[in-house]
Amino acid sequence: MERISWDQYFMAQSHLLALRSTCTRLMVGATIVRDKRIIAGGYNGSVSGGVHCIDDDCYVIDGHCVRTVHAEANALLQCAKFGVPTENAEIYVTHFPCLQCSKQIIQSGIKAVYYAEDYRNHPYAVELFREAGVKTEKVVLNDLMVDQDFRKKQTYVHKLLQTLEPFVDESSFHTYKQEAEQLFKP
């Protein structure tokens, strides 16, 4: 069996972190790495102890949720809080960083940004990364699968089975139900 690459490993970590997100608009995770060691991680969510988007919807102003601290910022703040240097580190993010996070990444001394998904890639952020000599590279997570829509799919299949039950013979329905239970088994 072949081991997954470092890029896939760290990107998978970022996708796992995204599952902790409390934002209902976009789940983002970020992992900061230095010398092939994880030094911090973050996900987008509200200020500690504050109201979360999953509890009280997003607080949107000018098309942006102002309640949310971005994943990249949370990871950088974790380093600052615990005195962990970020100079020459790398960051793995599930989505291309926004303009503000891009500036914070540059200021922190991070030398490379690896992202899995393009997301409103701001041309000025791209320009700033280039001017600062920060490498940006898309790394699609393909060796592992993290399904951020697992619960939605499970709910959908459950509703679909309920709708089909009166129209399908008992034996077939039982088979469909067993297959669905196997797919979504904890």
Residues forming the active site:
72
Q: Are 26 and 18 in contact (CB under 8 A)?
A: no
